Structure 1
Amino acid sequence: MTKDFNPVSVINIEVLNNFLLKITFSDGFSKTIDMTVLMDKEITKPLKNPDYFKQVKIDDFGGIYWPNDYDICPDFLRYYI
C-alpha cells in the first residue's frame, strides 16, 4: 500500500516555545512540528539557540531554512515528520 503524495509548499511558519514550529501548507493543512528530533547533527547545532531558531524563513521552493543554509523541503515537513 502506498501513501498518497501531493506536492505542497509552506505558506506560513509560526515559531512556538520549546523549538516547535507551527507550519501551514499550500493545501490548507497545518501541523506543529517538534524540531528537536532533528537537532542532533552538526549543521543543526545552531538551532539549539532560541534566538537563532527564530530566524527560520520560507525559501523560494516552499521549504524552510535558517541563515546557516540548513534547509528542509516542504514534502519532508508535510509527510515525514
Structure 2
Amino acid sequence: MNSAVNTPWVKPVKVVAHKNYHLDVVMEDEREFCLDLSGLINRRQIFWRLKNSHYFKQVNIDPLGGLCWPEGEDISPEKILHYVVT
C-alpha cells in the first residue's frame, strides 16, 4: 500500500505477518526489515488480541505509516524500527 499522505518520515509500503509474532516490512525507501513483536505482545496486555495468529495476520498499514490491526491496536511509524530483528 502506497500512502498518498506525505510525511517527513519513511513509511512502510508492505507488511507480511509470519508465525511467532514476526512481520516482514518493506519501507518506501526499499529497505526491508523483519520485526519481532513477541516481547511487546507478551509484555503489554493491550495487545492481547494479537496473540491469536489469525488476527495477527490482519496487520495493515495506516495512512501515516503505522502498523495497525482491525480493533485499533497499532504501532506508530517512529516505533517500528525498535522491533527490528538483528
The number of residues matched between the two structures is 75
- Contact 2:66/2:77 (8 A) holds in 1: yes
Q: What is the CA–CA distance in structure 1 between the aligned matches of 2:66 and 2:29, rounded to whole Å?
A: 14
CA positional deviation for 1:48: 0.4
5+ residue gaps, structure 1, are 1-5
Structure 1 residue ranges, 4+ long, deviating more than 2 angstroms after superposition: none
Identity %: 32
- What are the equivalent positions in structure 2 for 1:1-81 lying under 5 Å apart? 7-39=9-41, 40-78=43-81, 80-81=82-83
Query: SS state of the match for residue 45, structure 1?
Result: helix
TM-score normalised to the size of structure 1?
0.83
Counterpart of 1:75 in structure 2: which amino acid? E
Query: Alpha carbon RMSD of aligned pairs, Å?
Result: 1.4
Q: What is the CA–CA distance in structure 1 between the aligned matches of 2:75 and 2:32, rounded to whole Å?
A: 16
CA positional deviation for 1:67: 1.5
- Contact 1:8/1:75 (8 A) holds in 2: no
Q: What is the CA–CA distance in structure 2 between the aligned matches of 1:68 and 1:42, rounded to whole Å?
A: 14
Query: SS state of the match for residue 13, structure 2?
Result: strand
Counterpart of 2:38 in structure 1: which amino acid? T
